[in-house]
Chains A and B, each alone.
Chain A
Amino acid sequence: MRTEASTRANIRTMTDHAVTGLAVLATVLVVAPLVAIFVYLLYKGASSLNFDFFTKVPKPPGEVGGGMANAIVGSAVLLALASVIGIPMGIGGGIYLAEFGRGTKLANAIRFTADVLNGVPSIVMGMAAYALIVAPHISLLPFMGHFSAFAGGVALGIMMIPTVTRTTEEMLLMVPNAIREAALGLGVPNWRSVLSITVKTASPGIITGCMLAFSRVAGETAPLIFTVLGNSFWSTSLNRPIAALPLQIYVFALSPYDDWHRLAWAGSLVLIVLIVLAVSLVRYVTSRGVLKGNS
């Protein structure tokens, strides 16, 4: 009897170790490609990083030197515009789906549309922006009729909306109903309860959703091909073609010039690092307001 029990205990322990080992292996397999990419980029690109890279525009092919400063700034402009478009609309949509329209047909239609939008290939988004903003001969809006940063920002912004909407909705649904009831029981109007209590409680998750959407569009290249065109010079104007880091990397990588290849590697490294820095910065800033006793 005693030996049978201890044998079972041994098998249990061994199974425990085996499954733990599998879990660790799975984690390693998932993280390994990321680490491998990063290490390889460091190897290929770090040597090309210098002060010039971050401050100068590209030199014409054949000339040595230059940098991708205009592309870094250009990407920042595009992502700022995309965030201004995508985040408020996305969060607003998520709030509607979770708090005001739960169960309604309109909410179901919105959710379905968001999911479909999420699946649209990025190049199709670019072409849609091209057709609606860049191509028209008649200028209904000031930015229409030519390649522009505006068109690229709009394309990227719209791509952010489904992710932000769905994660906002999910995070809001996770707020326990007891919290809503507590607010209502105090005589707080529903809209105030939603904004000041429910959204605030869900805000860490909502911010994560925004960061996910941000990281995704930060690296998008296809929508930019038809909208911003790219620019070899300094430009931050929304009304003109603008340089963008992923686009610049693409153009340089496909070119026959070694110098531009070097810049492309460096640019890829910088792109990843900047995205990680942006996300970390947001995490740090938003976590500083958290109280003792909260995670």
Chain B
Amino acid sequence: MGVGIEVINLNAWYGSNHTLQDINLHIPANQATALIGPSGCGKSTFVRCLNRMHETNPIARVTGTVRIGDLDIYESAAPVSIRRRVGMVFQRPNPFPTMSIYDNVASGLKLNGYTNRRVLDDIVEKSLKNSALWDEVKDDLKKKSGASLSGGQQQRLCIARALAVDPEVLLMDEPASALDPVSTAKIEDLIFELKSQYTIVIVTHNMQQAARVAEKTGFFLNGRLVEFDSTHKIFTNPGDKRTEDYITGRFG
């Protein structure tokens, strides 16, 4: 089951660059929330603050509060344990090249000490089915390496890998931007299926994609959250002129 995310006065820096300014929003549980905006507006930085990946960069800094469910992730817990509850899928598929498909999906569990063979088998199968990849790879699970799949398959493998650790939230940073239209459609269908079990935050450049999969959408511009509302309202009757300019293609 997914949980809601509460963001209060979030500010983030890369060195002296004030990348995110005073972000406040509530991301609802068990829905897909899309974040749109032009390149460099801070939307990727924002999601990386939600699983404390932003701070892996030595010159990065964060202030403010992020609450996942009822857990304040910057106060009470170690980054490592946060990331087991908040999974991430990256823009370019990044399966582990030295591992088989099976080991890739199981990696989050194996590297955290789980070794029970039967449990792992079950989880791998369930995750691959949840990411619509099972039928295509079920005969080659241990024989083929993760990197030998096509781009779309690799991305679904990464989704399976993220799902295998059973997170509550799934962050997706432009997951389909490196993929062809057919694979993109498959990923979007997937998000539709996964919404009922997880809370999904998806960064996208593609406004049609946001309109297709997300209940709520947030528009970022120059490090600020300009508008956050139901997807329908954002795309048909935006409240802020800047949102309207972006939607209608006047910039970005």
Residues of A within 8 A of B (CB): 103, 176, 178-179, 181-189, 192-193, 196-197, 200-201, 203, 291-294
Report how far A181 CA is from B108 CA in the complex, Å: 13
CB of A110 to closest CB in B, whole Å: 19
Residues from chain B with a CB closer than 8 A to the CB of A200 are 98
Which stretch, B33-41, B75-83, B125-133, touches the partner chain A? B75-83
Residues of B near A189 (CB, < 8 A) are: 80
Expressed in whole angstroms, the minimum distance between the Cβ of A289 and any Cβ of chain B is: 9
CB distance from B89 to the nearest CB of A (A): 8
With A184-B53, A186-B87 as known contacts, state yes or no: A291 contacts B80, CB within 8 Å.
Answer: no
* 28 intermolecular pairs with C-beta atoms under 8 Å apart: A176-B94, A178-B90, A179-B94, A179-B96, A181-B56, A181-B90, A182-B96, A184-B53, A185-B90, A186-B84, A186-B111, A186-B161, A186-B165, A187-B83, A187-B84, A187-B85, A187-B112, A189-B80, A192-B111, A196-B111, A197-B96, A200-B98, A201-B96, A201-B97, A291-B98, A291-B148, A292-B145, A294-B98
Residue ID in chain B nearest A182 by CB atoms: B94
B residues 68-104 touching A (CB-CB < 8 Å): 80-85, 87-88, 90, 92, 94-98, 100
B residues in contact with A192, CB < 8 Å: 111
The residue that B81 contacts in the complex, of A103, A178, A187, with Cβ under 8 A, is: A187
Q: Does B147 contact A (CB under 8 A)?
A: yes
In the bound complex, do residue B158 and residue A182 qualify as a contact, i.e. CB atoms below 8 Å apart?
Answer: yes
Interface SS of B by simple majority: mixed
Q: Known contacts A178-B92, A179-B94; is A186 also within 8 Å of B162 by CB?
A: yes
Nearest CB of B to A1, in Å: 40
- Determine how close the nearest CB of chain B comes to the CB of A292; give it in whole angstroms: 5
Tell me if B31 is interfacial: C-beta within 8 Å of chain A. Answer: no
Judge whether B243 is part of the interface by a CB distance below 8 angstroms: no
Q: State whether the Cβ of B107 lies closer than 8 Å to any Cβ in chain A.
A: yes
Whether B144 sits at the interface, judged by CB under 8 Å, is yes
User: Assuming the A-B contacts A181-B94, A182-B94, A182-B158, are A291 and B100 also in contact, with contact meaning beta carbons closer than 8 angstroms in the complex?
Assistant: yes
Say whether B53 contacts A293, CB under 8 Å: no
Bound-state Cα–Cα, A200 to B98, Å: 7
A188 CB contact (under 8 Å) in B92, B112, B147: B112
Chain B residue nearest to A175 (CB atoms) is: B97
Indicate if B212 sits at the interface (CB-CB under 8 A): no
Chain B's closest residue to A204 (CB) is B98
Question: What's the A-B contact tally at a CB cutoff of 8 Å?
Answer: 85
Query: Within 8 Å of chain A (Cβ to Cβ): is B143?
Result: yes
In the bound complex, how far is the Cα of B73 from the Cα of A187, in angstroms? 14
Q: Which residues of A contact B11 (CB under 8 A)?
A: none
The CA-CA distance from A11 to B147 in the complex, in Å, is 41
Which chain B residues lie closer than 8 Å to A179 at the CB level?
94, 96-97
- Shortest distance from the beta carbon of B191 to any chain A beta carbon, whole Å: 18
Partner of A293, one of B80, B94, B148: B148
CB-CB nearest 6 A-B residue pairs: A293-B148, A187-B84, A187-B83, A186-B108, A178-B94, A185-B88
Q: Which residue of A lies closest to B93 (CB)?
A: A178
> Given that A188-B111, A291-B145, A292-B145 are known contacts, is A182 also in contact with B90, CB under 8 Å in the complex?
yes
Q: Does B199 lie at the interface of the complex (its beta carbon under 8 Å from any beta carbon of A)?
A: no
Interface contact A181-B53, CB-CB below 8 Å: yes
Complex Cα–Cα for A103 and B58 (A): 10
**B161 nearest in chain A by CB position:** A186
Bound form: Cα–Cα A183–B110 in Å: 12
Tell me whether B80 and A188 are in contact (CB under 8 A). yes
Does chain A have a CB within 8 A of B51? Answer: yes
Q: Which residues of A contact B58 (CB under 8 A)?
A: 103
Bound-state CA distance A231–B16 (Å) is 66
By CB atoms of chain B within 10 A, which of A186, A293, A294 has the most? Answer: A186
CB distance from B113 to the nearest CB of A (A): 9
Could you tell me the distance in whole angstroms from the C-beta of A286 to the nearest C-beta in chain B? 12
**Residue from A178, A184, A293 in contact with B83 in the complex, judged by beta carbons closer than 8 Å:** A184
A196 to B98, CA, bound (A): 10
Taking the closest CB of chain B, its distance from the CB of A199, in whole angstroms, is 10
Least CB separation from A289: chain B residue? B98
Q: Are A187 and B145 interface neighbours, CB within 8 A?
A: no
User: From residue A102, how far is it (CB to closest CB) to chain B in Å?
Assistant: 9
Apart from A184-B56, A186-B87, A291-B143, what are 10 other A-B pairs with CB-CB below 8 Å?
Answer: A185-B90, A188-B107, A188-B108, A189-B80, A193-B111, A196-B111, A197-B111, A200-B98, A203-B98, A291-B100
What separation, in Å, do the CA atoms of A294 and B104 have in the docked complex?
14
* Cβ A201 vs Cβ B56 within 8 A: no
B90 contact set on A, CB distance < 8 A: 178, 181-182, 185
Whether B165 pairs with A187 at a CB distance below 8 angstroms is yes
Q: Are A185 and B53 also in contact (CB < 8 A) when A179-B96, A197-B96, A201-B98 are?
A: yes
How far apart are the CA atoms of A181 and B55 in the complex, in Å? Answer: 12
On whether the beta carbons of A292 and B80 are closer than 8 Å, the reply is no
Most buried by A among B82, B85, B112: B112
